[in-house]
């Protein structure tokens, strides 16, 4: 398996991730059977691999669109500020929207996104998140489909980066703390 000296430990290997995605897709296919079309909103860049593997397994009619949100700096995080770097191409009014996101940490990103999408009058809004950091909750946000709970450490791989590195590793791994401290 492709490894890297910055990696401390693999938390979720590729098979584990894909097996869980099989289950998530099954659940989504079941839950949306009566809906004509769903609109997948994938959050760049982090969710790109997850989105791709998930959507290969979605058998109900859907379209996919992308939105890029800023990663906050230390200060903007405290204020809960999130910025839209690239907006959706398609209108979402009256659409059944499923957000696909990489990580739920403080939940501020999803909270921000939900507020935007609700203001555009979607027909319904659900969230599918690959990982949630242990002990992190946000009473404002409900995750409808969750892949894994992971330790509260900085993780990379499978779409996730540190300073734009390690995004294309096929697994999710803990970064050595000395790399990001
Ligand atoms: P939240 O707004 O829930 O605090 O954070 C969510 C966003 O922060 C995620 O979309 C992700 O981009 C980033 N993030 C949070 N924790 C990690 C992590 O451990 N690794 C990486 N690569 N990104 C993270
Ligand atoms: Mg993100």
Is residue 2 situated within a structural domain? Answer: no
pTM of the entire structure? 0.94
Q: Which long-range contacts (CB under 8 A, 24 or more apart) does 22-31 make?
A: 22/57, 24/54, 24/128, 24/145, 24/147, 25/54, 25/57, 25/58, 26/57, 27/145, 28/54, 28/58, 28/60, 28/98, 28/128, 28/145, 29/57, 29/58, 29/59, 29/60
Minimum-distance ligand to the CA of 76?
1
pLDDT at 72: 62
User: How high is the pLDDT of residue 80?
Assistant: 63
User: Does residue 174 line the site of ligand 1, with CB under 6 A?
Assistant: no
Q: Would 123 be classed as within a structural domain?
A: yes
Q: Which domain holds residue 121?
A: 7-180
With respect to residue 59, please indicate whether it lies within any of the assigned structural domains. yes
For ligand 2, the distance from its centroid to the CA atom of residue 112, given in whole angstroms, is 12
Asked if 62 and 54 touch (Cβ cutoff 8 Å), the reply is no
7-12 and 145-150 strand pairing: unpaired
Give the phi and the psi of residue 97 in degrees, each rounded to 5. Answer: -100, 135
Q: What is the CATH number of the domain that holds 100?
A: 3.40.50.2020
Whole-angstrom Cα distance, residue 101 to residue 131?
9
What is the pLDDT at residue 136?
83
Is 105 labeled as catalytic in the residue annotation?
yes
Cα of 36 to ligand 1 centre, how many Å?
Answer: 32
| Distance in angstroms (rounded) separating the CA atoms of residues 46 and 177 | 20
User: Would you say residue 24 lies in a domain?
Assistant: yes
* Residue 45 maps to a domain: yes
- Is the Cβ atom of 109 under 6 angstroms away from ligand 1? yes
- pLDDT at position 77, please? 54
Q: What confidence tens digit (pLDDT) does each residue in 76-87 have?
A: 455 667 889 999
CA nearest ligand 1 atom 24, residue: 103
**Is 1 contained in some domain?**
no
Residue 117 is assigned to a structural domain of this protein: yes
Point out the ligand 1 atom lying closest to the alpha carbon of residue 154.
Answer: 19
8 A C-beta contact, residue 64 and residue 40: yes
Q: Is residue 39 part of a domain?
A: yes
Total domains, the chain: 1
Number of Cβ within a 10 Å radius of residue 90:
11
**What pLDDT does residue 62 have?**
97
Question: How do the pLDDT tens digits run along the chain, 181 residues long?
Answer: 667 889 999 999 999 999 999 999 999 999 999 999 999 999 999 999 999 999 999 999 999 999 999 866 555 455 667 889 999 999 999 999 999 999 999 898 999 999 999 999 999 999 999 999 998 878 888 999 999 999 999 999 999 999 999 999 999 999 998 887 7
Q: Which residues surround ligand 2, an ion (CB under 5 A)?
A: 46
């Amino acid at each position: 398996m492709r490894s890297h000296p910055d990696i401390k430990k693999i938390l979720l290997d590729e098979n584990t991730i894909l097996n869980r995605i099989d289950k998530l897709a099954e659940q989504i296919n079941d839950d949306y059977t009566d809906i004509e079309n769903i609109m997948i909103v994938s959050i760049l860049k982090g969710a790109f691999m997850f989105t791709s593997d998930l959507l290969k397994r979605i058998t109900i009619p859907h379209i996919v669109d992308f939105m890029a949100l800023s990663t906050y700096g230390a200060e903007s995080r405290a204020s809960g500020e999130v910025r839209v770097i690239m907006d959706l191409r398609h209108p979402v009014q009256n659409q059944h929207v499923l957000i696909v996101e990489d990580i739920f940490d403080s939940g501020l990103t999803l909270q921000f996104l939900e507020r935007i999408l609700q203001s555009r009058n979607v027909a319904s809004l659900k969230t599918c998140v690959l990982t949630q950091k242990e002990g992190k909750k946000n009473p404002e946000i409900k995750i409808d489909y969750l892949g894994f709970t992971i330790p509260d450490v900085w993780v990379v791989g499978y779409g996730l980066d540190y300073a734009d590195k390690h995004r294309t590793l096929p697994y999710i791994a803990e970064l050595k703390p000395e790399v990001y401290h």
